[in-house]
Amino acid sequence: MADGRLAAALADLGGRIAWPPAPDVRARVIARIAEPPQTPWWRAFASPRYGFAPAIVTIAFALLAVLAFSPEARATATDILRLRGVEIFRGPVPTPSPTPSRSPGSIPSPTPSIDQLSLGQPVTLAEARQRAGFTVVVPADPALGTPDAIYIRAVEGSTAVSFAYRERAGIPVSPQAGVSALVTEFGGHLEPAILGKVVPQGTTLELLTVNGGAGAWMEGQPHQVFYTSNGGASFITDTLRLAGNTLIWEQNGLVMRLEAQVDKATALRIAASFQ
């Protein structure tokens, strides 16, 4: 069929079909256009007077979401203890993965060593004292003796010095760290570097005075060690090491931490030698 004849046939067919009447929507469209625009609720925070409010609202919603869906977060938010330069958080600790059994003939896992702790750059005591930016204090307790290794590392504008002690009589060797004791000290007066502790529910936490400064004794299940920066606004993973009993305290503008599987009396005796 030619195009002209097809067009004529379709036009004739259209005139024979009974189409339903089209609704008159002009009145509804005109009424909708005349309505004043509705202002979204969040526009109230968009004025220059509340220029900071969108960020606050976002943070608030994020915090509410975490607290709503995480019982652990709610417990943590209500159970925070603070020292100057230190934040101690109560909270759960990850369950260590079970050690896989070794099949006959397989290569045994390497023995934990100090080098695996990522404590920073190995230095001598003289180098640590020269580079630390504060007076480095070495414990003089005979139970520890001379450190087997000394490390220094930068921590968000501050400096941390660590003393590692391998096997010591009467002090068990940590299976995670491969050492009997680990001493860390840093300038707590520097706000960018804040040391934190995640304390699980199975750990005993006691606030006390050590060498005239505020301190805390943690005994029980292992706990994570991490750092926070910017006044606690962000967290920095610093090779999360699982430690045993820990004594942490302030002394002469420094934050001291002793990690060793000893009782509180022994830890306090060792701390007294930090003079």
Same structural domain for residues 52 and 120? Answer: no
Provide the pLDDT for residue 150. Answer: 96
Mean pLDDT of all residues in 24-36: 66
Q: What is the pLDDT of residues 229-247, one digit of tens each?
A: 455 555 555 554 556 788 9
Same structural domain for residues 151 and 251? Answer: yes
Provide the pLDDT for residue 141. Answer: 95
Let me know if residue 217 belongs to a domain: yes
Same structural domain for residues 63 and 86? Answer: no
| Phi and psi at residue 258, to the nearest 5° | -115, 120
Domain range for residue 193? 80-94+114-271
pLDDT over 50 at 111, yes or no = yes
Q: Which amino acid is it at 254?
A: L
Q: What is the pLDDT of residues 2-27, one digit of tens each?
A: 566 656 666 665 565 555 666 666 66
Let me know if residue 22 belongs to a domain: no
Residue 36 or residue 127, greater confidence:
127
Let me know if residue 15 belongs to a domain: no
Same structural domain for residues 65 and 122? Answer: no
Q: What is the pLDDT of residues 52-76, one digit of tens each?
A: 555 554 555 555 554 455 555 544 4
Same structural domain for residues 49 and 90? Answer: no
What SS3 string covers 159-176? EEEEEEECCECCECCCCC
Let me know if residue 25 belongs to a domain: no
Let me know if residue 166 belongs to a domain: yes
Same structural domain for residues 46 and 176? Answer: no
Same structural domain for residues 87 and 43? Answer: no
Same structural domain for residues 125 and 261? Answer: yes
Q: Domain tally for the chain?
A: 2
Distance CA 251, CA 248 (A): 10
Same structural domain for residues 254 and 151? Answer: yes
Let me know if residue 101 belongs to a domain: no
Same structural domain for residues 58 and 89? Answer: no
Provide the pLDDT for residue 21. Answer: 66
- What's the whole-model pTM score? 0.60
